[in-house]
Amino acid sequence: MKTKPFSIELSDEAEVDFDKSYAFYFEDSLKVADTFFKQMNLGFENIKQNPTSFPIAHKDVRKYVVKKFPFVIYYQIVDATIRVVAIFHTSRNPEIWNDRT
């Protein structure tokens, strides 16, 4: 039996998180910004492929640690949708994103 593939949906806050982070890296280096973009997309694909394989961070929110960058993608699984609630730098207080769920 073939299962329906998961889709990714970014909350407004997660889009802002991504845009600000990308802009920060872009100011420093287009190459670094491009690598950040690719690593984020790789993270989204890994989450889509097996969303339950990543640890629960809080209640029903799971986390994916982005490779090569100090970021975590926090997400919820809602039916066949992966709802990204935050793209968070690891140096920030993790309590901040709890208000988003």
For the chain, what are the domain ranges? 7-100
User: What span, in angstroms and rounded, lies between the C-alpha atoms of 50 and 35?
Assistant: 23
Full-model pTM = 0.88
Q: Which pair of tokens denotes residue 65?
A: 């640690």
The answer for residues whose C-beta is within 8 angstroms of residue 29's C-beta and 6 or more apart is none
User: Each residue of 37-51: pLDDT tens digit?
Assistant: 999 999 999 999 999
User: What span, in angstroms and rounded, lies between the C-alpha atoms of 60 and 76?
Assistant: 6
User: Each residue of 18-77: pLDDT tens digit?
Assistant: 999 999 999 999 999 999 999 999 999 999 999 999 999 988 999 999 999 999 999 999
Domain formed by 7-100, architecture: 2-Layer Sandwich (3.30)
